[in-house]
Amino acid sequence: MKAAQVAIVTGASRGIGAAIAKQLARDGYHVLVNYASKASEADKVVQDIIASGGKAVVFKANVADPAEVACMFDMAEQSFGKIDVLINNAGVMPSHLPMLADIDDETFDSIMAINVKGTFNTLRQAARRMEQGGRIVNFSTSIVGLTLPGYSVYGASKAAVETMSAIFAKELRGRGIRVNVVAPGPVATELFLNGKTPERIEALSKMPPLERLGQPEDIARAVCFLVGEQSGWVNGQTLRVNGGVV
């Protein structure tokens, strides 16, 4: 009997990450649910997966910390024996997004630490420990294409992820590991909705030609496509999942 595939999903306590973890579990993956601060919510994701007949474990790790990331990979190997899939969903986007000239050093450092260094930390571990034929999906944003004022540092952090991913895919030549990126548009998550007025949310929902906000499940389905056999010839690419907004 073929062993189940094993996936690490970072930032999986809620929103898009939780939707991805649950969808992967429904698809038969064993899942490590990572979180940084929402323990009860991460536990609930694991409980839901187990209640539905899946297998999952929970692990607290700040992806910006290399030692904690290494321990997270240890936990996946100890729990399930291997690592086949890495989903780098963990990220931060401040609720208040000033113009570049008004961004303070603390905000800049926080965005870069999680969005860029956090992705780098997990990719470095994956390069050393992932199974032959593994799949990695990193997260960018459609802001890279939209270039909306106020998103300069956040957009820059995600543009770095896109570039790092494309190069990393080439560096893994010969191992059959595919590296791709999902770049969502506006998605109705707590991270996105936090700090926005109803009027702003309504305006953003009308931006895509499909005239709605994305849902976490929309992104989860795209991620599962990129880790599945149907996308076996897709590598080093960025897939914008945004309803056509850009």
Which residues face 240 on adjacent strands?
A: 183
C-alpha–C-alpha distance, residues 164 and 176, integer Å? 18
C-alpha–C-alpha distance, residues 88 and 122, integer Å? 8
| Amino acid, res. 130 | M
Report residue 242 as tokens.
Answer: 């945004």
- Tokens 């895919």 belong to 169
> Active site residue: 29, 35, 151, 154, which one?
154
Asked whether 153 and 107 are in contact (CB, 8 A), the reply is yes
Active-site annotation holds for 154: yes
| Amino acid, res. 172 | L
C-alpha–C-alpha distance, residues 44 and 147, integer Å? 36
Residues carrying an active site annotation = 154
